[in-house]
Amino acid sequence: MDALVYPSFVKGEVNAPPSKSYTIRAIAAAMLAAGKSTIINPSSCDDALAMLNIAHSFRAEIKFNNQNLEIQGGLKSNPEIIYCNESALTARLMIAIAALSENKITITGSGTLLKRHLGNVNDPLEANGVKFTSNNGFLPVSVQGRLKPGYYLVDGSESSQFISGLLMALPLLNNDSQLIVNNLKSAPYLKMTLEVLRAFNVNIETKGTDFYLISGNQAYCPQNFIIEGDWSGAAFPIIAALLNGEIDITGLLPHSLQADKKLNTILEDIGIKTVCANNKLYLKKSEIPAFVADCTHTPDLVPALVILASQSAGKCRITGASRLFYKESNRALALKLEMSKLGIEIIINGNEIIIYPGKIQPGEVSSHNDHRIAMAMMIAGLIAEGPLLVKDVGCISKSYPQFIDSMQKCGARIETILSD
């Protein structure tokens, strides 16, 4: 599916999509809990559905009830193959969780996930009794446990997702473990994992963000868990409003542990006023000064911030660019290439992206089959000098399937075209 986007002033209300990150973690916790859990306001994106299908493969009983999700969990059986579709979070969580079984389990996926390096996940597993094989660091991966309680040393420079998997799995072992993390780059996501664990009655002692003392012999207790709105997805209508609109966003918690809540701080730091009241974030067209933003811990914000920077008063810098090399696409290079087609110069200098502002030219761009690139390009189309064709936007279903519909309801002229 392609999208033909016309310059548009957007005005209205957008309900933030449910958080994909919280939904996946909550489904995993409910799968591990013996009893019925209810997940309220779950995401229906492709990545969340991948985790739900995995729970089903572990014989969890799943039922939708008034758009809520009821899961009767307890790890009743172990599948031979775990299929993660294109969800890297799901794959990395399940590598650790699958190692709870003595049986050999293969974790695989499809599309862009097969091209994403898993990072150094094998060393801490093999050091603690798990047989591990991979496709030279890529999926498919096979693990055969059972994990042993003990000392786990993990590198967190590429991703914290596997660390989240260990935090979910290690409390179920029959003795205590210590988890040491070096070079952590996504600390907020571990805080999110710990919040979900506490909700399901699993407690982990922390010392900073690099040391975790994990008591064994714990058990997940079934719970009702409410999924909050997703700051990552909401970043795109937020930027659309600031550039050419007036939008109220509902469902975002101002004190959320989500890493991408930092967007609000970034905007405030550069002098853009946002108003949060009555569970709504109020935004309107604003002058955008030149800015510097550190996205080391929030790489998913970069595509939206690049569009914002393109309409600023001067050269902008975004640091943390190295985190973009291992996403659904090489996002740094994808943004540089596609924005150059629109007349915007971007320079990648090591860990930094430099954006020179200008007028967005009409034309045609590619999503690189990356959901965040697709949404960023569609926002660019709303402020372009003429129509912009964005190729292959069906990938938005990975995180925010309602995005086009939400923007259309606010007046965005976006026509969807079935691809050949």
Mean pLDDT of 396-402: 97
How would you list the strands of the sheet with 245-250, edge to edge? 10-15, 245-250, 280-284, 275-277
Q: Give the amino acid at 149.
A: P
Question: Residue 370 catalytic?
Answer: no
Pair 12, 26 in one domain: no
pLDDT, residue 246, reads: 96
Tell me what percent of the residues of the chain surpass a pLDDT of 90.
85
Q: Tens digits of per-residue pLDDT, 366-383? A: 999 999 999 999 999 999
Pair 25, 51 in one domain: yes
Mean pLDDT of 88-96: 96
- C-beta contacts of 146-151 below 8 A and 24+ residues apart: 146/99, 146/100, 146/101, 146/102, 147/96, 147/99, 147/100, 147/173, 148/173, 149/173, 149/174, 149/175, 149/176, 149/177, 149/216, 150/177, 150/178, 151/127, 151/177, 151/178, 151/180
pLDDT, residue 325, reads: 61
pLDDT band at 245, cuts 50/70/90?
very high
Q: Which one of 300, 392, 405, 420 is the catalytic residue?
A: 300
Q: Tens digits of per-residue pLDDT, 40-74? A: 999 999 999 999 999 999 999 999 988 899 999 98
Q: What is the CATH number of the domain that holds 173?
A: 3.65.10.10
pLDDT, residue 351, reads: 87
Which domain covers residue 75, as residue numbers? 20-214
Has residue 10 been placed in a domain? yes
Q: Tens digits of per-residue pLDDT, 302-334? A: 999 999 999 999 999 999 877 676 555 688 899
pLDDT, residue 343, reads: 98
Pair 42, 153 in one domain: yes
Q: Tens digits of per-residue pLDDT, 117-151? A: 898 899 999 999 999 999 999 999 999 989 999 99
Mean pLDDT for all residues in the chain: 94
pLDDT, residue 112, reads: 87
66 Cβ neighbours under 8 A, 6+ residues apart: none
Helices assigned H by DSSP within 33-99: 46-57, 88-98
Whether 209 has a pLDDT exceeding 90, the answer reads no
pLDDT, residue 77, reads: 83
Pair 74, 210 in one domain: yes
Has residue 280 been placed in a domain? yes
- Look at residues 312, 289, 403, 408 and name the one whose alpha carbon lies nearest to residue 360: 312
pLDDT band at 180, cuts 50/70/90?
very high
Whether 104 has a pLDDT exceeding 90, the answer reads yes
Pair 314, 411 in one domain: yes
What are the angstrom distances between the C-alpha of 400 and each of 64, 220, 232, 264? 20, 29, 9, 20
What is the token pair recorded at 69?
A: 């999700």
Mean pLDDT of 201-215: 95
pLDDT, residue 323, reads: 65
Has residue 299 been placed in a domain? yes
Has residue 220 been placed in a domain? no
Domain total of the chain: 2
Query: Buried b / exposed e across 155-174, counting CB within 10 Å, b at 16+?
Result: bbebbbbbbbbbbbbbbbbe
